A = this chain, B = another copy of it.
Amino acid sequence: MSETEALEESAPRHKRLTEAVAARDLESSRRIINEASADDQRRIISQLDLAVREQLCELLPPEEIAGLLEHLAEPQAIEILEELPAEIAADVVENMSAEIGGDLLRELNPKDTEAILAEIENAAESDDLRERASYHWESAGGLMSHHVLSFPLDATVADVLADLETNAEKYHDADVQYFFVVDDDQRLTGVLSMRSLVLGRRSLPIKSLMIPDPISVTVHTTLEELEDLFEEKNYLGLPAVDEEGKLKGIVSRRAVTEALSEHQTEDYLKASGIVGGEELRSMPLKDRCLRRLAWLGPNILLNLLAASVIASYEDTLAAVIALAVFLPMVSDMSGCSGNQAVAVSIRELTLGIIQPRDYTRVLIKEGLLGLTNGLVLGLILGTIAFFWKGSFFLALVIGSALALNTVLSVVLGGLIPLVLKRFKADPALASGPILTTCTDMCGFFLVLNLATIVIQQL
């Protein structure tokens, strides 16, 4: 190995890949990519400049781009697919499994998707992909696997077992936990579990072992409905049919669990102010800035609302400047107390221990707790204020403001998730901002209004 090569080996792989791409060196580019694990491929690709990434896609044949995209995180794969000319993108999609191809096309904007589908020559394949892409990702159609085994009504257990043995290769990708029984028009008429099949007498017709009229969903059943179904009973998978009752695929519990966790991730991102889908740091700076600002903008307004409370008491503040020190403390502390109550309500809603209509119970339970903790915290902060500033009345104002605002925010924090749930809004998403704005405004108001009342003593 020459010295230059040794040096190159030690350079970060995205730099080596950049050089290989610049030199149009297909062999080296391919080697660097293929030697990396899937995780490393994600990191390398995210560190490439946009132009280099485009050149790399020009260099690699479509089937290798397809293989690479299957290893990347989905938002990365979508980003790359969007940049490719429709013709190449179509070649790439054709080289993927229809399942993954459909998932990716679903996430592109409809115009791009149509442009890519138009470039796919095989009409059956493009129709199939169009159908897959048309389902919402949070519906049974978007979540189902198309690899599903079905057998005609009059087959016997022995027939099915023999067929499985013979066609082992062909069924390689299929889920073999459930077999479906269909009539001559491919309409779902029964379901047969692997266990009944294996444990059943070989000579019996599957018709006699199957559960007739099985519970099924349509391709349009929503994720929320699926969640309820899977929660209610211990299904491992549910068949999905189209409007005519024809079997289209199977939705597994695992697919639903994964979609729910993706949904939670989206909620977490939204609650943190990342709206409109994923943000990757490899995206253009302008897009990232604009999307983050879109959420920060309205927040300025909420903050102005709270600040206007302070502004209307400037005389009081000017007279007792020490109040300014305690304003953020009172609003922050009661915000924290309120958040605890939010968490308990969301948790009890999830566990099914409370329902949106149980507001009296929450009001009483949180009211009592708010009173107790409000008194304790008010006493602590009041004492601190007294020894810090030496004024009994200042201590009284600060202490009572925190106590009262704690009661209010604990009760609000307990109730807001119930109200949001009742109006079909997502408690985890909206409770925070609503609570914060309320407790800020009330906290500022209480401190400054109480101070105004006893202003002569301060």
Contact = CB atoms under 8 A, between A and B. Distances in A.
Contacts of A273: 336-337, 339-340, 343
Contact of A373 (B257, B296, B350): B296
A318 interface: yes
Given A355-B43, A381-B300, A440-B328, A339 B307 contact: no
A42 to B, nearest CB: 5
Interface in A155-176: 161, 164-165, 168, 171, 176
A347 interface: yes
A293 interface: yes
Interface stretch (A17-25, A122-130, A241-249, A276-284): A276-284
A368 B282 CA distance: 13
A450 interface: no
Nearest to A375: B289
A73 B254 contact: no
A317 interface: yes
A178 to B, nearest CB: 12
Interface in A242-296: 253-254, 257, 261, 264-265, 268-269, 272-274, 278-282, 285, 288-289, 292-293, 295-296
B347 A278 contact: yes
Contacts of A171: 199
A384 B165 contact: no
A34 interface: no
Interface residues of A, number: 99
A76 interface: yes
A353 B42 contact: yes
Interface of A: 38-39, 42-43, 46-47, 73, 75-76, 161, 164-165, 168, 171, 176-177, 194-195, 198-201, 253-254, 257, 261, 264-265, 268-269, 272-274, 278-282, 285, 288-289, 292-293, 295-296, 299-300, 303-304, 306-307, 310-311, 314, 317-318, 321-322, 324-329, 331-333, 336-337, 339-340, 342-344, 347-348, 350-355, 358, 361-362, 365-366, 368-369, 372-373, 376-377, 380-381, 384, 388, 440, 444
Contacts of A168: 195, 199
Contact of A328 (B310, B361, B369): B310
Contact of A354 (B46, B199, B265): B46
A149 to B, nearest CB: 11
A325 B310 contact: yes
A167 to B, nearest CB: 9
A353 to B, nearest CB: 5
Nearest to A402: B300
Contact of A321 (B300, B318, B440): B318
Contacts of A365: 281
A187 B283 CA distance: 52
A333 B254 contact: no
B73 A351 contact: yes
B327 A274 contact: no
Contacts of A261: 257, 261
Contact of A43 (B200, B279, B354): B354
11 contacts: A43-B354, A165-B198, A198-B198, A273-B336, A274-B340, A289-B373, A293-B376, A296-B337, A296-B377, A300-B380, A314-B325
Contacts of A280: 344, 348, 353
A281 B361 contact: yes
Nearest to A320: B318
A114 to B, nearest CB: 28
Contacts of A352: 38-39, 42-43, 73
Contacts of A354: 43, 46, 281
Contacts of A377: 293, 296, 300
Q: A-B pairs with the 8 shortest C-beta distances?
A: A272-B343, A168-B199, A39-B352, A73-B351, A324-B324, A281-B365, A273-B340, A318-B321
B73 A353 contact: yes
A168 B195 CA distance: 9
